[in-house]
């Protein structure tokens, strides 16, 4: 069977297993309707895997600003005759081509969208420059945490549901420390771990599957929580039991099209059945 194309992850009726060679039909409409309410049941799920940027911490906006600074400078400096290659980097560019991907993949995919090709050293140099911009921003402004996410994390832990953090970023540890959340998660699979293991980036589900493996749970017994289109698609392709899309930018339909079962504006909307919700500060990490 033909391997899925770059845009194949926008097909919400199918699941692509690792490597993309086995395709199975998604759950039926009735099964999807059964999870229409923003509820997680401890009887149904053993673990939840959270993306970092934009889900746990408000660092997605900092990444977007760093990418915009990088690409606006780069595009303005190009001697292209075609004007479209010099148009500024947009929020739509960030959501569609960069968000959720490793920085080098982000560079390649965005440049390809503008029909620009750079050699590997140039791609790496651009990605490293973006990382410098992001680190400068964290050092200058610190890291803001989404309170609704922290309350949900504490409720999950109190209910015996294991939690993991994933990120395409190599700065995950530093960001978690800055947010005082470095002891919250049992498992971490970030850009450093993915690089060591040679794991492909999103929308491939490899990082989520590795997190599930380390949590010792099967994907169908785990929840994926993502805000990026590529991340939602990865959760769907990995066959996870529930994929929650967090929409902080006003584009819920895009998350649903990528494969989210539920879309919420904030994780304070998500409740646990049969378990009292934790209050901020009530349960120590």
Catalytic residues: 51, 53
What pLDDT is attached to residue 7? 37
CA distances from 30 to 159, 258, 265 (A): 27, 19, 24
Spatial contact of 276 and 283, defined as CB atoms under 8 Å apart: no
What pLDDT is attached to residue 190? 96
What pLDDT is attached to residue 80? 64
Which tens digits make up the pLDDT trace of 182-223?
999 999 999 999 999 999 999 999 999 999 999 999 999 999
Structure-block tokens of residue 278? 């934790």
Q: What is the DSSP string of the chain?
A: -PPP-TTGGG-TTEEEPGGG--EEE---HHHHHTT-SSEE-TTT-SEEEEESBTTTBTTHHHHHHHHHHHHHHHHHH---SSGGGGSPP-HHHIIIIITTS-HHHHHHHHHHHTT----HHHHHHHHHHHHHHHHHHHHHH---B-HHHHHHHHHHHHTT-EEEEE-S-TTHHHHHHHTT-TTS-SEEE-HHHHHHHTPPPTTS-HHHHHHHHHHT--GGGEEEEE-SHHHHHHHHHTT-SEEEEE-SSS-HHHHHHHT-SEEESSGGG-EETTSPPPPTTTS--
Which tens digits make up the pLDDT trace of 256-269?
999 999 999 999 99
What pLDDT is attached to residue 189? 98
Strands 47-51 and 39-40: unpaired
What pLDDT is attached to residue 41? 93
Whole-angstrom Cα distance, residue 129 to residue 132? 5
For the segment(s) 13-59+144-272, the CATH number from 3.40.50.1000, 3.40.50.300, 3.40.640.10, 3.90.1010.10 is 3.40.50.1000
What pLDDT is attached to residue 85? 64
Low-confidence ranges of the chain (pLDDT < 50): 1-35, 277, 279-285
Q: Which residues lie below 8 Å from residue 216, measured CB to CB, with a gap of 6+?
A: none
What pLDDT is attached to residue 183? 93
Domain boundaries, the chain: 13-59+144-272, 60-141
What pLDDT is attached to residue 274? 66
Whole-angstrom Cα distance, residue 116 to residue 112? 5
């Amino acid at each position: 069977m033909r391997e899925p194309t770059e845009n194949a992850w926008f097909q919400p009726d199918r699941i692509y297993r690792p490597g993309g060679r086995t395709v199975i039909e998604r759950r039926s409409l009735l099964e999807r309707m059964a999870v229409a309410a923003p509820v997680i049941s401890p009887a149904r799920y053993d673990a939840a895997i959270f993306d970092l940027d934009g889900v746990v911490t408000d660092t997605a906006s900092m990444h977007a600003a760093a990418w915009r600074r990088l690409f606006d400078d780069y595009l303005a400096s190009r001697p292209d005759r075609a004007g479209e290659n010099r148009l500024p980097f947009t929020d739509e560019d960030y959501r569609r081509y960069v968000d959720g991907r490793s920085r080098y993949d982000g560079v390649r995919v965005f440049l390809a969208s503008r029909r620009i090709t750079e050699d590997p050293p140039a791609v790496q140099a651009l990605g490293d420059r973006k990382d410098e911009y992001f680190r400068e921003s964290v050092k200058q402004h610190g890291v803001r945490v989404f309170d609704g996410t922290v309350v949900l994390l504490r409720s999950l832990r109190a209910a015996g549901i294991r939690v993991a953090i994933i990120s395409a970023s190599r700065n995950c540890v530093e960001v978690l420390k800055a947010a005082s959340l470095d002891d919250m998660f049992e498992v971490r699979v970030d850009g450093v771990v993915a690089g060591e293991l040679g794991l492909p980036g999103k929308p491939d589900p490899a990082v989520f599957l590795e997190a599930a493996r380390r949590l010792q749970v099967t994907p169908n017994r785990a929840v994926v929580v993502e805000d990026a289109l590529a991340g939602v698609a990865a959760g769907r392709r990995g066959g996870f039991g529930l994929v929650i899309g967090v929409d902080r930018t006003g584009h819920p339909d895009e998350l649903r099209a990528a494969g989210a079962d539920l879309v919420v504006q904030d994780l304070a909307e998500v409740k646990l059945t049969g378990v009292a919700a934790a209050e901020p500060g009530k349960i120590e990490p």
